[in-house]
Every structure is written in C-alpha cells, then in structure tokens.
Amino acid sequence: MDSLLNESANKLLANLCTVESVRGVELTGEASSMWSSIVESGFTDAWIDEAAGGAGLSWHDTFGLLLASGRYALPLPLGASMYVRYLLAQLGFPTMDGCATFSTQANQTENGCVSAHAVPFGRVADWVGMNLDGKAWLLPTAHAKCEGPVIHGSLQSRLRWTSWPTAAIPLGEAKPWREIGAVLWAAMMAGAMTTVLERTLSFANDRAQFGKSIGKFQAIQQQLSQMAEHVHAVQIAAEVAFTGGPPTAGEPLAALAKGRASAAVCLIAATAHGVHGAIGVTAEYPLHLWTRRLHEWRMDFGSESHWQRLMGQTLLNQRDSSALDFVLERLSPISEPILKPHFGHKN
C-alpha cells in the first residue's frame, strides 16, 4: 500500500462522499460532478504508465484507494473505471469520458440488441465493459435503457441496447471481468466493513441501557470481537489478492478475496444491525449506506459459493498437493517483484 496515496485518497473521498451526497446520487442517479472531482485527482490513471501520463503505480499500491472507496460508500465504480482506462491506454486509444463498470451477465441477440443483467453501478456508469462472443467490448450507456429491477437506493440496473451502439469500443480478446471485479469488489467490501465496524463500536460505546453503555455488556462484546475478527480476515484476504496484480481467468487469488469477503457479509451486517437496534433500519440513520452495499456486493461477480466451488475444484485438480502446498503456491502474498497490471491475460 502506498501511504501517501492512501492518505490523499481518504481525504478526498471523505470530503466528496458525505452521507448527503451519497444519498443524493442514490436518489437521482446523477454523479457527474462527483466523478469530475475524482478524475481531477488523477487517481483514475494510477495504473497507467508514467510515460503515457499515468501514475505508474502497481496494483498493490492502490489497495488503500479501493479500500477507501468502500469505506466512504463512493457511489461510483472507481476501480472498474481505472481498469478500463488502463486497457484503453494499453491499446493506444484516447481515454473515455465518464466512468465505467463491468458486466459478466451480458448477451447479444441476433438483431444487435444487447442485454446486461444486474450491472453494478449500472445507473451511474457511462460505459460497460463486457465480453460478447469471445471479444471484449466497451459499450456506452447513453442510449441504453435502464430496465430495473428498480431496487430502492440501489445503483444496480439491467441495461438494454435495442440496437448496436456505434460508439462501442473494441477491446480485443475477452477480458477476465469477473476475476478483476471480484478483486476490486473485495477491497471495496473490506472498506465498507471497516466503516460498519467503526460505526458499530462507536454506537456501542455511546448508547446506554441499564445504566451503562451497551458496549460494556459481555454479550455485546463477544459479538463485536467476532465481527472484528472477520473484518480483519477480509481486509487481509483482499490485500493478499492485490499483491498478485490483475487476476487472470480462474485466478485462485480472486477466489480468495471475493470468497472470503462475501462469506463475511451476513455476520458483519447482522451484528451491526443487531447492536444498533431499531435505529439501524431507519432511512435516516446512515448504517444502511454500507450494509445495503455489502449485501449487494456480496452477490456481484459471484457469491462465496461461486468462489468456494471454483477454489475447491482447482485444489482437487492438483493431484499431489497438500492444502498447505496449495496455499503456499497459489494463495500467499507475493512480495517481489512489484507487479504491474499487464495486458494480454492468459485464459
């Protein structure tokens, strides 16, 4: 983690993502000025080489930035946009206007119509990266229809293009959107969980019942300790995945990060709400800005079962590998050399 970047990212996002501004974006689906502020910061080009005008940072350097985007419930797909801008720079294309998200549930029908289901950040994204017939594409959302499922407060949407958008940008061979998304989302989830833990701890110390703060009761302490354990496990699993650089298709590190993060969501969200009591499920109290996201992000790019199954199959296909061998070879933090995102993924 790059500590300078980390510090300035936290400062910027704390200012930009107030509870009011996040709610505003959720209500209106309008986030262009917020996105402009982020682009001005230069974070969006963190992975692009310095020679090409970027910051030339490694994937691991930016872990704290993605963590912060979840911590402040940034209502925009920062990590996904960074990856798409990186791909465009690699191809020598000019960068796009606006922000981009991914879809792993897109398909094209014969008349050129494209449907992408449950697109995370679909209501605010200007572009969507996807694979169609073995090729990667970036489709503009300008003429796409947001078709629901219309979930209160959610930025997710089904998108439908009734004809092929002429501004679509070809990105070459199919990209491992699911694995990239899994790793980025795991960092966002770790950030959101950090906030949920902090808020719940402070609530437990402030709220008094039976003449003392509820955080003094052993029953509450045991639950919060367990919650903290899971938050730590998710934080570290996500960071381990970032040391591996951008994941390729089937990468076990992506399964580690997203599998661990998704598995912790229910316990963490339920404990936070349980400790908060009734106030926690009100619209006014902002706990739901994070817990709603956590439940949604848990499912984006595959829930824990998806990644557990993939991981288990990979492990069981290694004929003579002990569990420790597998962890050492495939699931350990990679210290050297510092990996940069590279183009041309092995599939």
- By CB under 8 A, name the binding residues for other proteins: 1, 67, 190, 194, 197-198, 201, 204-205, 215-216, 218, 220-222, 224-226, 228-237, 239-240, 243, 255-256, 259-260, 263, 304-305, 307-316, 319, 322-324, 326-327, 331-333, 335
Length of the chain equals 347
Q: What are phi and psi of 227, to 5 degrees?
A: -60, -45
Side-by-side strand order, sheet with 100-102: 100-102, 127-132, 135-140, 169-173
Residue among 138 and 190 whose Cβ is closer to other proteins: 190
Encoded tokens for 218 = 């052993």
Q: What are phi and psi of 287, to 5 degrees?
A: -50, -35
Min dist. Cβ of residue 332 to other proteins (A)? 7
Residue among 199 and 288 whose Cβ is closer to other proteins: 199
Radius of gyration (Cα) for the chain, nearest Å? 20
Residue among 128 and 204 whose Cβ is closer to other proteins: 204
Min dist. Cβ of residue 22 to other proteins (A)? 20
Min dist. Cβ of residue 81 to other proteins (A)? 23
Min dist. Cβ of residue 249 to other proteins (A)? 17
Residue among 50 and 229 whose Cβ is closer to other proteins: 229
Residue among 40 and 198 whose Cβ is closer to other proteins: 198
Residue among 216 and 295 whose Cβ is closer to other proteins: 216
Min dist. Cβ of residue 215 to other proteins (A)? 4
Min dist. Cβ of residue 266 to other proteins (A)? 14
Residue among 42 and 274 whose Cβ is closer to other proteins: 274
Min dist. Cβ of residue 245 to other proteins (A)? 15
